[in-house]
Amino acid sequence: MIYFDNSATTKPLQEVLESFHTVSESYYGNASSVHRLGLEASRILRKAHEQAGLLLNVNPEEIIFTSGGTEGNNLAIKGIAYAYQSRGKHIITSKIEHPSVLVACEFLATQGFEITYLPVDQTGVVKVDDIKAALREDTILVSIMHVNNELGTIQPIKEIGALLSDRRYTFFHVDDVQGFGKVKLELKDNGIDLYTLSGHKIHGLKGTGLLYVKKQVRLAPLFHGGGQQFERRSGTENLPGIVSLVKAMRVVTEYHLHHAEHIQQLNNKLRLELSHFPEVVINTIEDQAPHILNFSIPGFKPEVILHALTERNIFVSTKSACSSKKPDESAVLSAIQLPRAQSTSAIRVSFSYHNNEGEVELFARVLKKILKDLKK
Amino acid sequence: MDAIYLDHAATTPVHPAVIEAMTNALQTSFGNPSSIHSFGRESRAILDRCRRYVADKIGASEKEIYFTSGGTEADNLAIIGVALANKAKGKHIITTQIEHHAVLHAAEHLETLGFEVTYLPVNQYGQVEMRTLQESLRDDTILVSIMMVNNEVGTLQAIAELAAIIKDHQAYFHTDAVQAFGLEQINVAKLGLDLLSVSGHKINGPKGTGFLYAGKGVKFHALQHGGAQERLKRPGTESLPAIVGLTKAIELIVEDNYPHKASYENYRTVFLQVLAQEGITFQVNGAPNAYAPSILNISFPGTSVESLLMNLDLDGIAASSGSACTAGSLELSHVLIAMYGEQDPRTENAIRFSFGLANDAAQIKKAATKVSQIIKRLTKQSTIIEEVK
């Protein structure tokens, strides 16, 4: 079995499962209860805040644990929009964001907000000059992802942060669901005010995630209730999920520290293998996120190839899992103005630290055979 | 010393069989249910199976179940979602003064958006009286939200009768069943419900999971936007292992034919008997004839909540003053204030004991004996202080 669909979801690590298990069994108290079980739970919760803060190099109270990337992105975008609407109702984002950003913005557009969706260049990168040109007096939020989920392109976060640094009421949100653990990004030095992570993309569990919100930044909550997590996210804290998320963050951070070049080698290897295929066009330019490689095989239906690969126990995807139900072409690939033949025939390979070069070789061999059979 | 856990209304231990089911799902079915390869399809099949099971057990169809990150999200989705989607029909909402904060604060939020909210009073037993709902109902009412079992005093509302009042009215009926679910079979059609919220971690399932039932044709907006999951009403990769855990927790209750009510009823009797035998002065807060036996709220005259809780904890009894969500701040219970008024001493000396799977009858007897000793100690102290004064 070869699992090359790690941008859709990843297999949880054994140590993550163990953390989840231990907390579920031994620390089941409600962190808001005042008795001992509650105090124990709240102590572990505080520790989780501290460790997550340490890993991201931010303050513990700047971390809000969420139910995943979608909630994190929605909380960031709507939270800023509603908290600062008296200062302005203009938001800037890009055309290649994840649906949880795009559709949240579309919703805000129905509520009287104005959204500018920036185009990207043909390599799939947002231009800082475009942001500069789009900025207005009443712009309250810029939301740009760090690593694109379909192409793997890295956005110029540092430069955008610098551009916004002297604008006190234009907040900067970064969706780093795809980048964390693979492409390093410092939050503090880059003018980032809000930052989204998801657990299940980093070998953690589904239903877990976090949002970093810089101190002093106000946020209107999505859920109202018991006032947990500094009044920013009501609902009994999912302590086993939270602890398992922090565990996954730590392990993946260590992988990145010690094995960063491993995934890059897999990427190089696949590029090299694919260069021998006359039918294949590689859509991801070089020197982007190491774990995602997007390519097209014009003239072949991607579903057919995906199905043929699946039959041989190899798992890739055609585009982001969240939009897989839509039959049309990839929005991201059409945003980089690929010819339709290319944007409707794309395959995304996404690696984890657990893949190896042998798997890449085997994948290339199998793909070759599939194309040969299909041509008959 | 092993602590006795009498705070199951705050949260419950995860059932070992639930942990097993979740661990299995975590290890073997990690695919994203939206992926079209076999990993994804396998996860999708499990998700569909869970949804069908849950739906079937409350008399709903699978298209009417929306999995959420818990009770708070389900309540918010129901209340804010319905309000925003139906504001053209009216901007009036009715709820009660004794709801969980997930409902109350969502309603207060709607007030800031221009909605009008009526908070129904309750009688001294914590019951909503039919006429108050009838009198508050207006042509522009779009939603009535009344909890099934109150989380602090355990009072059970006459949900079917209350829902019947608005049967021919445009307003939807929502009930927060977080504390009620699992005690008795709930059938949404028989009760006449349009929306119902359930939380996983109150029924020995995992934290971070729950569901909202919303009947076919009920119009409501999503709170978060993104992919097409949960029929567009709750985007975000489905938390499959948690959903499997939640389903298992429900299965354990249903397949055993709702076994807990009788044992909790027994715990309640034993607990109160011991207090009476020990000669303790106390008063049970709640409705004598309509209550969930899992929650026992008692006022002890001459004591105060803070010293009670501290002494209970030192003696190894985990109980609570009100809901866990407000317990951290030890503010006065809005539920007891609604029942008795602000000046009543019962709002300051009430303790909630809530029973669950971590208990057995022997434990309850032991706990009640310890509670009696503590009360005797504390009331003696306060008598002495009174005398010195």
Q: What is the CATH number of the domain that holds B174?
A: 3.40.640.10
Tokens representing A77? 């975008």
pLDDT attached to residue B330: 61
Alpha carbons B330 and A106: distance in angstroms, whole number = 41
CB proximity B304 to A under 8 Å: no
Q: Do A321 and B224 touch (CB under 8 A)?
A: no
CB atoms inside a 10 Å sphere around CB A218: 12
Residue B303's domain is classified under what CATH number?
Answer: 3.90.1150.10
Q: Do A29 and B327 touch (CB under 8 A)?
A: no
Q: Do A306 and B70 touch (CB under 8 A)?
A: no
Residue B385 scores a pLDDT above 80: no
Catalytic residue from among A322, A364, A366, A374: A322
For range B66-94, the mean pLDDT? 97
* Residues of chain B above pLDDT 70, percent: 95
Residue that the structure tokens 């999971």 belong to = B209
pLDDT attached to residue A7: 95
CB atoms inside a 10 Å sphere around CB A40: 17
A interface mutation test: which of B6, B29, B32 has the most A CBs within 10 A? Answer: B32
Q: Do A223 and B324 touch (CB under 8 A)?
A: no
Same domain, residue pair B356 and B211: no
For range A82-88, the mean pLDDT? 97
Residue B329 scores a pLDDT above 90: no
Same domain, residue pair B353 and B279: yes
Q: Which residues contact B297 (CB under 8 A, 6 or more apart)?
A: B152, B153, B154, B284, B285, B286, B350, B351, B352, B353
Residue B295 scores a pLDDT above 80: yes
Q: Do domains A2-8+260-375 and A14-251 have the same CATH topology?
A: no
SS (H, E, C) chain A: CEECECCCCCCCCHHHHHHHHHHHHHCCCCCCCCCHHHHHHHHHHHHHHHHHHHHHCCCHHHEEEECCHHHHHHHHHHHHHHHCCCCCCEEEEECCCCHHHHHHHHHHHHCCCEEEEECCCCCCCCCHHHHHHHCCCCEEEEEEECECCCCCCECCHHHHHHHHCCCCCCEEEEECCCCCCCCCCCCHHHCCCEEEEECCCCCCCCCCEEEEECCCCCCCCCCCCCCHHHHCCCCCCCHHHHHHHHHHHHHHHHHHHHHHHHHHHHHHHHHHHHHCCCCCEECCCCCCCCCEEEEECCCCCHHHHHHHHHHCCEECECCCHHHCCCCCCCHHHHHCCCCHHHHCCEEEEECCCCCCHHHHHHHHHHHHHHHHHHHC
Q: Quote the strand ranges of B24-128, DSSP E.
A: 65-68, 92-96, 116-120
Report residue A11: phi and psi, to 5°. Answer: -75, 130
pLDDT attached to residue B386: 61
pLDDT attached to residue B331: 75
Tell me the domain boundaries of chain A: 2-8+260-375, 14-251
pLDDT attached to residue A327: 55
Same domain, residue pair B229 and B357: no
Q: How far is A230 from chain B (nearest CA, A)?
A: 12
Q: Do B223 and A239 touch (CB under 8 A)?
A: no
pLDDT attached to residue B305: 87
Residue among B76, B207, B320 whose CB faces A224 most closely: B76
Q: Which residues contact B157 (CB under 8 A, 6 or more apart)?
A: B127, B128, B146, B147, B148, B149, B150, B175, B290
Tokens representing B62? 């699978």
| CATH code matching the domain that covers A2-8+260-375, chosen among 3.90.1150.10, 3.60.20.10, 3.40.640.10, 3.30.110.30 | 3.90.1150.10
Q: Name chain A contacts of B330, Cβ cutoff 8 Å.
A: 34
Confidence of residue A338 (pLDDT cuts 50, 70, 90): confident
Q: What is the pLDDT of residues A20-48, one digit of tens each?
A: 999 999 999 999 998 999 999 999 999 99
For range B177-202, the mean pLDDT? 97
Same domain, residue pair B251 and B266: no
Same domain, residue pair B101 and B200: yes
3-state secondary structure of B25: helix
Count the residues in chain B: 389
Q: Which residues contact B255 (CB under 8 A, 6 or more apart)?
A: none
CB proximity B7 to A under 8 Å: yes
User: What ipTM does the predicted assembly reach?
Assistant: 0.74
pLDDT attached to residue A98: 95
Burial label for B265, CB within 10 Å (0-12, 13-18, 19+), is: middle
For range A236-262, the mean pLDDT? 96
Same domain, residue pair B156 and B32: yes
Alpha carbons B340 and B122: distance in angstroms, whole number = 9
Residue A335 scores a pLDDT above 90: no
**A105 catalytically annotated:** no
Domain count, chain B: 2
Same domain, residue pair B226 and B280: no
Same domain, residue pair B224 and B291: no
Q: Which residues of B are catalytic?
A: 325
Tokens representing A42? 């709240």
Tokens representing A346? 């794309």
Where does a domain end: B255, B276, B297? B255
Q: Do B106 and A225 touch (CB under 8 A)?
A: yes
User: Would you tell me which residues 25-54 of chain B have a C-beta closer than 8 angstroms to some C-beta of chain A?
Assistant: 26-27, 30-32, 34-40
Same domain, residue pair B78 and B210: yes
pLDDT attached to residue B306: 85
Full residue range of the structural domain in which residue B355 is found? 4-12+258-388
Q: Mean pLDDT score of chain B, rounded to an integer?
A: 94
Where does a domain end: B236, B255, B274? B255
Same domain, residue pair B243 and B296: no
* Rounded alpha-carbon distances, angstroms, from residue B291 to B127, B282, B288, B346: 10, 18, 7, 19
Q: Name chain B contacts of A107, Cβ cutoff 8 Å.
A: 222, 225
Same domain, residue pair B230 and B287: no
Residue B241's closest chain A neighbor by CA?
A206
A-B contacts (CB, under 8 Å)? 267
Q: What is the pLDDT of residues A136-161, one digit of tens each?
A: 999 999 999 999 999 999 999 999 99
CB proximity B323 to A under 8 Å: yes
Where does a domain end: B233, B255, B277? B255
pLDDT attached to residue A34: 87
Q: What is the pLDDT of residues A188-245, one digit of tens each?
A: 889 999 999 999 999 999 999 999 999 999 999 999 999 999 899 999 999 999 999 9
Residue A70's closest chain B neighbor by CA?
B236
Rg, chain A, Cα only: 21
pLDDT attached to residue B383: 65
Q: Do A37 and B318 touch (CB under 8 A)?
A: yes
Residue among A20, A224, A310 whose CB faces B105 most closely: A224
| CATH code matching the domain that covers A14-251, chosen among 3.40.190.10, 3.30.2290.10, 3.30.1180.20, 3.40.640.10 | 3.40.640.10
More confident residue, A342 or B126: B126
pLDDT attached to residue A325: 42
Q: Do B225 and A200 touch (CB under 8 A)?
A: no
Same domain, residue pair B223 and B294: no
Residue B384 scores a pLDDT above 70: no
pLDDT attached to residue A51: 97
The letter for the amino acid at B134 is Q
Alpha carbons B118 and A6: distance in angstroms, whole number = 49
